[in-house]
Amino acid sequence: MLDLTCPACGNPLFKLKNSEIYCPSCEKKVIIEKQGQPTEKKQKLAQAGKDKNVSDLGLVLNQKLNDLKNRLATETDLSTIYKILKTIKLGITILNEIKQNQ
């Protein structure tokens, strides 16, 4: 048992064999920041936010790429076509990065 308490429930925290900090009450891992303060809640929120944001971004990008594709089909101005193509390329690059991180 550690002399730290869980920031979410206030129960004592335990250190696992793999040196991870664990709250048996919340049944969750707790990340300890440099200053020694447990930040389970922050970490959890950050993780949840990250996952959600990433999948949302993927959805938005897919939608945008579809819009751009439709726009490209009817666009005749060369500089606009160029901009659309650059944007599509960037969008695909980001989508691939999201896929790789999942």
Contact residues: Zn ion, CB under 5 A: 6, 8-9, 23, 25-26
What are the CB-based long-range contacts (under 8 Å, 24+) for 92-98?
92/65, 94/57, 94/61, 95/58, 95/61, 95/62, 95/65, 98/54, 98/57, 98/58, 98/61
Please, what is the minimum distance in Å from the beta carbon of residue 52 to Zn ion? Answer: 22
Nearer to Zn ion among residue 2 and residue 9 (C-beta): 9
Which residues are CB-neighbours of 63 under 8 A, at least 6 positions away?
Answer: none
**Quick one: DSSP state of residue 46?**
H
Residue showing the smallest CB distance to Zn ion in the complex: 6
Please, what is the minimum distance in Å from the beta carbon of residue 6 to Zn ion? Answer: 3
Nearer to Zn ion among residue 8 and residue 61 (C-beta): 8
Please, what is the minimum distance in Å from the beta carbon of residue 41 to Zn ion? Answer: 9
Nearer to Zn ion among residue 27 and residue 77 (C-beta): 27
